[in-house]
Structure 1
Amino acid sequence: MSVFTRSRKSALAGVVALAGASALVLAGCAGGGTGGGETSAPPTEERDLTLKIGTILPQTGNLSFLGPPEEAGVGLAAADVNEASGDTGLTIDDIVWGDSGDTDNKAYATTIQTLISEGVSAAIGAASSGVTKLFLDDAVASGMIVFSPANTSLDFTSWDDDGLYWRTAPSDTLQGEVLGNVVAEDGHENVAVLYLNDSYGTGLNAVFQETFTGAGGTIVEEQSYNTGDTSFDAQISALMASNPDAIVLITFDEIFTIGPALLSAGYPADQLYLVDGNLKNFGADAKWPADISMEGAKGTTPAGPLEADTTFQDRLNEWWTGEGNSELTDFSYANESYDAVVLLALASLAANSTDPADIAGKLQEVSGGSGEGEKCDNYADCAEIILGGGVADYDGFSGPITFDENGDPTQATVGVFEYGADNNFTRIG
């Protein structure tokens, strides 16, 4: 087993890579948002709170495959909060569900105005960093919290957001380092990259390349494309001509065109590396050609701690199918979505308020980011601590979280996955 550590002048404390199982645990990233003001409500005061939240998650667009697990996480968390409402005095009102779409179809433009007019305290979303950037200023101007379970762009760290932007997903600083280390550990030396030319793709690509070249590797070709592009022939030809021993694909749903084209051109699947934007169970998707095998390809994505227990995923499916939906086959960012709702509810409880600024002022505290608090791992137990006059430190399904003053988790886990013969992926670390 090899151990790699790397120090940075930023808030990144380190990256630990366990090469044998490729399990990578990362601590110390920086996020987006600043802590709000304190409220003076006595912690043991009786609560009678109705919290209203909405979603701006991808029901359509190039990240639509992330919508179901994210919405399931939100719905299950709200159900758990409401189940404990008799003891806590806080209820989550009917969720205002909305589509974020993508930067091409622009569904977010209608949704954000709906959420503002509905007066929600917080919007869960978007999944795409590029989409969030297009509505975040409007949300902040309205005084609404924006809490993303999946934004990873480095730009949110320093966004002027009045303390109203938070995220449970780690920044691309973390995933980029993990990806670079995994590709290097697998023995690759000459790598080509194809990336989406937006804040997500360029940021993740930059950190990956810095890490990989720092480990002695060489980038032999770099190609990009824009949202809405449908032909990638020129980029694929350039990648193949560079004769790489691995190709990193930083894309969204364009993988359904790019992946089969590369494999049909004879490129080995076990030399492909994917990321959170395109890591999908292709064997369960009719859009993927049945005769195109991804066996041996690997990918990375933020994920909760590696556990054999599937109880949480079973509960997600029970809630999701109970709403009339087909069973989930992908659970990407479900953990982060669930934790976002629980943290909002705990912060509201701690502030004894549903005002967005008051809630934002308690989010760092209930995550353990204030450096004080009693550990708890579910809403009911954390709420009991708060109502008893204590400080709760919630450790969730996505990890310890522990927000810094910018609203980013300082502890997170990035999982490593590998595709099997069925074109579905299995977590290997």
Structure 2
Amino acid sequence: MIRIAPLGRALAVAAAASLALTACGGGEDSAAPASSAPAAESSAPAAQGDGVLTLGALLPQTGDLAFLGPPEFAGVKLAVQEINDAGGVLGKPVTEIDTDSGDTKTDIASQSVDKLLQQKADAIIGAASSGVSKTVIDKITNAGVVHFSPANTSPEFTTYNDKGLYFRTAPSDVLQGRVLGDLIIQDGSDSVAILNRQDSYGTGLADEVEKSVTSGGGEVVAKTAYDPAAADFSADVSKIKAAKPKAIALIAFNETTKIIPELKKQGLGPDKVKIYFVDGNTADYSEDFPKGTLTGIKGTIPGAAAPDEFRKKILEVDPGLKDFTYGPESYDATNLIALAAEAAQDDSGKGIASKLVEISKGGEKCKDFKSCLDLLKAGKDIDYDGISGPVEFSDAGDPTEATIGVYQYGDDNKYKNVGYQAGKIS
């Protein structure tokens, strides 16, 4: 495991500092200024659901983050299978409806949400992209439905006026940005250029990386936001080149396949300058680039190591999986929703939301739906600890504990884990 020396400083982030900052995702809307209402209350209201927990999966089948879709869908499906094998929720099988979230260049997500609401979804799991979630969060929460993302990392959601109905199992980029910035400094680069998508994910994460680099004694010599829909990135790369950085943080999605060749063309390949990816572009590029193109590049992805037993089970759901990114978070999101409905004895969105914080901390620990359900039926308070790590929600619906994985590319243009950094955002 690698050690990032300044990380103790990074992980001891005060809540006030974290919440004041503006992932996975794009979009330019600004968050509502008011803090979100508490995500849970001590007691559930009278049941308002129809008795059948209906889950909508709003996850990427197409678009910039389509590579994240397979493990996320598989995580949801595995959880639903296990929940239904254990007797379902409130004595009835859970219904799952799969839809495409697309990306911010389309209206697919909005159309998918309309379909899910028409089919009486009680909770919608997704989107992967923060920008996509921002386009539909009001539609979902105004309908009284839980909006639960396994992959949104934009800090803006922490204070978004979501009516207490938005939750996520992925940590805010306040943490990923600090881990990445510390990693760059630890690797010996004191002059850093940031090339990021011009959207809420890119600009929010870029800001956090910049803060971490500068607080660690480094300097951000260039910070360039680009249009992710651009056909050519030569001008953006030229700005970076002019600053003569020792390292480049590339905060991108699948446009990485166009940016990397341009960086190499202008003499900024990983053999010349240290390059770092993030969760939006740390992916398998073995079929995109010649061998050796990405050798030495490092990247960060929120999430703990997926246990072997979980990997085996999720591969049975989808044998074609190439990686497991956000699969554990999707699995945990599904289990948490189901357990909250059981705790509330109510499958409505508001009933589920009223119990999500409560079941995530303070009770008897359990790690799967069946064991947690048995405790609930015995009248006990539970503390669900998931595959993605300890899941303890703040009142805003954010994880207060998280792990960031650090990865490195080999000659095959595939990435392997080289360490994990875990900590609390208190």
TM-score range relative to shorter protein: 0.7 to 0.9
> What SS does structure 2 have at the residue aligned with 1:5?
helix
In the alignment, structure 1 residue 418 sits paired with structure 2 residue 408: yes
Moved more, 49-58 or 195-204: 49-58
Q: How big is the alpha-carbon RMSD for the aligned residues of Structure 1 and Structure 2?
A: 2.0
Deviations 1:330-388 (A, max 9, x none): 211111100000000110111111011011000001111xxx20011111111111010
Aligned to 2:96: 95
Task: Work out whether residues 177 and 211 of structure 1, in 8 Å CA contact, stay in contact via their aligned partners in 2.
Answer: yes
Question: Match of 2:278, as an amino acid?
Answer: V
In the alignment, structure 1 residue 311 sits paired with structure 2 residue 309: yes
C-alpha separation in 2, matches of 1:53 and 1:150:
17
1:106 is displaced (CA, Å) by 2.1
Moved more, 75-84 or 225-234: 225-234
C-alpha separation in 2, matches of 1:396 and 1:311:
13
> What SS does structure 1 have at the residue aligned with 2:386?
coil
Task: Work out whether residues 32 and 166 of structure 1, in 8 Å CA contact, stay in contact via their aligned partners in 2.
Answer: no
Deviations 1:218-265 (A, max 9, x none): 111111112422211101112122221111000111111112221344
C-alpha separation in 2, matches of 1:12 and 1:388:
40
Task: Work out whether residues 40 and 358 of structure 2, in 8 Å CA contact, stay in contact via their aligned partners in 1.
Answer: no
1:312 is displaced (CA, Å) by 1.1
C-alpha separation in 1, matches of 2:314 and 2:37:
29
1:94 is displaced (CA, Å) by 3.2
**Map of 1:111-150 to 2, 5 A cutoff?**
111-150=112-151
1:184 is displaced (CA, Å) by 0.6
Task: Work out whether residues 292 and 410 of structure 2, in 8 Å CA contact, stay in contact via their aligned partners in 1.
Answer: no
C-alpha separation in 2, matches of 1:83 and 1:298:
40
| Structure 2 unmatched ranges of 5 or more | 19-34, 420-426
C-alpha separation in 2, matches of 1:142 and 1:401:
26
**Map of 1:266-305 to 2, 5 A cutoff?**
266-269=267-270, 271-283=274-286, 286=287, 288-291=288-291, 293-304=293-304
C-alpha separation in 2, matches of 1:40 and 1:130:
32
TM-score by length of structure 2 reads 0.88
Aligned to 1:328: 321
In the alignment, structure 1 residue 66 sits paired with structure 2 residue 82: no
Task: Work out whether residues 33 and 408 of structure 1, in 8 Å CA contact, stay in contact via their aligned partners in 2.
Answer: no
C-alpha separation in 2, matches of 1:265 and 1:213:
26
Question: Match of 2:73, as an amino acid?
Answer: E
**Map of 1:221-240 to 2, 5 A cutoff?**
221-240=222-241
In the alignment, structure 1 residue 339 sits paired with structure 2 residue 332: yes
| Structure 1 unmatched ranges of 5 or more | 14-30, 43-47, 322-326
Name which of 35, 60, 77 aligns with 2:39. 35
Deviations 1:266-300 (A, max 9, x none): 324261100000010111xx3x1224521110000
C-alpha separation in 1, matches of 2:290 and 2:36:
41
Aligned to 1:28: none
Task: Work out whether residues 192 and 246 of structure 1, in 8 Å CA contact, stay in contact via their aligned partners in 2.
Answer: yes
Aligned to 2:160: 159
Change (3 A) 1:117 1:247: same
C-alpha separation in 2, matches of 1:34 and 1:301:
28
In the alignment, structure 1 residue 10 sits paired with structure 2 residue 3: no
TM-score by length of structure 1 reads 0.87
Change (3 A) 1:180 1:218: same
- How many residues matched? 393
C-alpha separation in 2, matches of 1:32 and 1:5:
29
Aligned to 1:358: 351
Task: Work out whether residues 53 and 92 of structure 1, in 8 Å CA contact, stay in contact via their aligned partners in 2.
Answer: no
Change (3 A) 1:360 1:40: closer
Change (3 A) 1:114 1:138: same
C-alpha separation in 2, matches of 1:345 and 1:33:
22
C-alpha separation in 1, matches of 2:290 and 2:313:
30
Deviations 1:74-108 (A, max 9, x none): 1111111111117x754443311111111102211
> What SS does structure 2 have at the residue aligned with 1:222?
strand
Change (3 A) 1:410 1:127: same
Question: Match of 1:222, as an amino acid?
Answer: K
> What SS does structure 2 have at the residue aligned with 1:409?
coil
1:32 is displaced (CA, Å) by 6.4
Task: Work out whether residues 90 and 349 of structure 1, in 8 Å CA contact, stay in contact via their aligned partners in 2.
Answer: no
Name which of 390, 394, 406 aligns with 2:384. 394
State the identity %. Answer: 41
Question: Match of 2:275, as an amino acid?
Answer: L
In the alignment, structure 1 residue 211 sits paired with structure 2 residue 212: yes
